Amino acid sequence: MKKIDRHLRRVLKEFSKSYLQKRESVFAGMDFETLRTELVEIKDGALSRCEELNALFEAKARQGGAKVYHASDSAEANRLVYEVAKERGARFLVKSKSMVSEETGLNEFLLRRGIEVRETDLGEWIVQLAGEPPTHMVMPAIHLTRKDVARIFSRRLGKNLPEDIPTLVAIARHELRQEIFRAGAGLTGANALIAESGSIMVVTNEGNGRLVSTIPPVHIVLASIEKILPTIKDALLLLKLLPRNATGQTITSYVSFIAPSPHQDLHIILLDNHRSEILADPTFKEILRCVKCSACLNVCPVYQIVGGKKYAHIYMGGIGTLLTAWIHGLKESRDLTDFCLGCHRCEAFCATKIRIADLVIALRERLHEELRKPSWKKLAFDGVLARPNITQALFSSARASRPVLSRKGGFVRNLLPPFKKYDRFRSLPWPAAISLSQQVKEKSSQKEAGERRAKIVLFGGCLVEHFYPEVGLDALSVLAKLGYEATPAEAVCCGFPAANSGFRSAAAKTFRKLVAGLEDADVVLTLCPTCTTMLTHLGPGILGTQKAKQLVEKVTPFSRFLLKKEKSKLQVLFSSRPFLKSATYHDSCHHKFVLQAAQESRELLEIALGKRLEEMEDSDSCCGFGGTFSVSHPEVSESLLEDKIESIRNSGAKLVALDCPGCLMQIRGGCERKGEGFEVKHTAQILAERLHTKS
Amino acid sequence: MVRARLEEEFIAKAAAMDAEIESFSSIADALAFASRFLKQQDIKNIAVSPDVLLPPAEMSEWPVLKPEKKDDYLAAGAGLVEADYGISDTGTLVHLDRNDEEKIVWTLPPICLCLLDKRRIVQDLGAVAEVLSAHLFLTSLEVRQVSLVTGPSRTADIEGRLSLGVHGPSRLVILLFEGKTSGSHEKD
Do A547 and A587 belong together in one domain? no
Domain that holds residue A644: 574-692
Q: Are residues A428 and A553 in the same domain?
A: yes
Residues A555 and A606 occupy one common structural domain:
no
Cβ pair A126:B152 closer than 8 A: no
CA of A18 vs chain B CAs: smallest distance (Å): 9
Decide if A95 contacts A218 (C-beta within 8 A): no
Q: Min CA distance, B137 vs chain A (Å)?
A: 6
Give the pLDDT confidence score for residue A139 in this predicted structure: 86
Residue A2 clears pLDDT 60, i.e. is over it: no
Handedness of CA A356, A360, A365, A369 (dihedral sign): positive
Q: Are residues A74 and A205 in the same domain?
A: yes
- At residue A369, the 3 state secondary structure works out as helix
* Confidence at residue A621, expressed as pLDDT on a 0 to 100 scale: 94
Residues ≥6 apart with Cβ < 8 Å to A607: A567, A570, A571, A574
Crossing angle (nearest 10°) for helices A683-692 and A598-609: 20
Closest CA to B65 of B51, B50, B55: B50
Q: Nearest CA to CA, how far is B117 from chain A (Å)?
A: 21
Which residue type occupies A42?
Answer: I
CA-based nearest residue to A590, from A626, A563, A615, A617? A626
Cβ atoms < 10 Å from Cβ of A108: 11
Instruction: Identify which of A396, A390, A392 has the alpha carbon closest to the alpha carbon of residue A491.
Output: A392
Q: How confident is the model at residue A433 (pLDDT cuts 50, 70, 90)?
A: confident
Between chains, do B145 and A196 touch, taking CB under 8 Å as contact?
no
Asked if the Cβ–Cβ distance from A169 to B139 is below 8 Å, we say no
Could you tell me the residue range of the domain that residue B103 belongs to?
2-177
Residue where a domain stops, chosen among A560, A583, A603? A560
Residues A471 and A585 in one domain: no
Same domain for A394 and A503, yes or no, is yes
CB-based contacts of A573, cutoff 8 Å, min separation 6: A691
Residues 6+ apart with CB under 8 A from A420: A414
**Confidence band of A611 (pLDDT split at 50, 70, 90):** confident
In angstroms, the CA B154 to CA A251 distance is: 12
- A172: in domain: no
Look at the pTM and tell me if it is higher than 0.95. no
Residue B34 domain flag: yes
Looking at the 3D structure of chain A, how many domains does it have? 3
Residue B90: list chain A partners with CB under 8 A: 250-251
pLDDT at position A695, please?
44
User: Which SS3 state, helix, strand or coil, does residue A47 take?
Assistant: helix
**Can you tell me whether residue A270 is helix, strand or coil?**
strand
pLDDT at B183 exceeding the cut of 50: no
Q: What percent of chain A has pLDDT over 90?
A: 76
Residue A466 is classified by DSSP as H
What pLDDT, on the 0 to 100 scale, is given for residue B53? Answer: 83
Mean pLDDT along residues A524-544: 96
d(CA B128, CA B119): 13
* Residue where a domain terminates, one of A560, A585, A615: A560
Chain B residues whose beta carbon lies within 8 Å of the beta carbon of residue A239: 125
Q: Does the pLDDT value for residue A233 go beyond 60? A: yes
Distance CA A395, CA A386 (A): 14
Number of domains chain B is built from: 1
| Mean pLDDT of the A243-271 span | 96
Q: Which of A140, A166, A254 is opposite residue B168, by nearest beta carbon?
A: A254
Which candidate in A12, A121, A169, A177 is best for mutational testing of the B interface (most B CBs within 10 A)?
Answer: A169
pLDDT at position A446 is 59
Whether A579 and A556 map to the same domain: the answer is: no
- β-pair type (B78-82, B46-48): parallel
A34 three-class SS: helix
What pLDDT, on a 0 to 100 scale, did the predictor assign at position A538? 96
Q: What is the CATH number of the domain that holds A632?
A: 3.40.50.1860
Domain assignment present for residue A139? The answer is no
pLDDT of residue A305: 92
Confidence band, pLDDT 50/70/90 cuts, at residue A1: very low
| Residue A286 falls inside a structural domain | no
Q: What is the CATH number of the domain that holds A252?
A: 3.40.50.10420
B158 domain residue, yes or no: yes
pLDDT tens digits for range A549-581? 999 999 999 999 999 999 999 998 888 777 778
Do A190 and A44 share a structural domain?
A: yes
Arithmetic mean of pLDDT, A47-62:
98
Q: With beta carbons less than 8 A apart as the criterion, state whether A302 and A340 touch.
A: yes
CATH number, domain containing residue B140: 3.40.50.10420
Q: How many CB contacts within 8 angstroms connect chain A with chain B?
A: 155
Whether chain A has a CB inside 8 Å of the CB on B28: the answer is no
Confidence of residue A421 (pLDDT cuts 50, 70, 90): confident
Q: With pLDDT > 70 as the criterion, what percentage of chain A qualifies?
A: 97
Termini Cα distance of chain A? 52
Phi, psi of B148 (to 5 degrees): -110, 120
B98 in a structural domain: yes
Q: What is the pLDDT of residue A136?
A: 85
Same domain, A421 and A514: yes
Residue B119 C-alpha, separation from nearest chain A C-alpha, in angstroms: 22
Tell whether A183 lies on the interface with B, counting CB pairs under 8 A: no
A429 with A478, same domain? yes
Is A239 contained in some domain? yes
Q: Please report the residues numbered 136 through 165 in chain B whose beta carbons come closer than 8 angstroms to any beta carbon of chain A.
A: 136-137, 139, 141-161, 163, 165
User: Is A679 a domain residue?
Assistant: yes
Would you call A87 exposed, middle or buried from its count of C-beta atoms within 10 A (0-12, 13-18, 19+)?
Answer: exposed
**Does B73 touch chain A if contact means CB atoms closer than 8 Å?**
no
- Look at residue B119 and tell me if it is in a domain: yes
Q: Is A400 inside any structural domain? A: yes
Other beta carbons less than 10 A from residue A452's beta carbon: 6
| C-alpha span between B20 and B14 (Å, rounded) | 8
pLDDT score of B117 more than 50: yes
In a domain, B123, yes or no: yes
Domain boundary among A233, A255, A276: A276
Please provide the average confidence, as pLDDT, over all residues in chain A: 92
CA dist., res. A648 & res. A544, Å (int): 41
Backbone angles phi, psi at A135, to 5 degrees: -115, 5
Nearest CA to A590 out of A305, A345, A325, A250 is that of: A345
**pLDDT surpasses 80 at A377:** no
- ipTM surpasses 0.90: yes
Q: Are residues A444 and A399 in the same domain?
A: yes
pLDDT band at A134 (very low <50, low <70, confident <90, very high): confident
CA distance A627 to A363: 18
B140 lies in some domain:
yes
The tens digit of pLDDT for each residue in A39-52 reads: 999 999 999 999 99
Set of chain A residues whose Cβ sits within 8 Å of the Cβ of B152: 253
- Give CA–CA dist A15/A305, Å, rounded: 12
Identify the three-state secondary structure at position A396.
Answer: helix
- A30 and A109 in a single domain? The answer is yes
Closest CA to A501 of A625, A634, A591, A367: A367
Query: What single-letter amino acid sits at A421?
Result: K
Q: Which residues of B touch A146 (CB under 8 A)?
A: 158-159
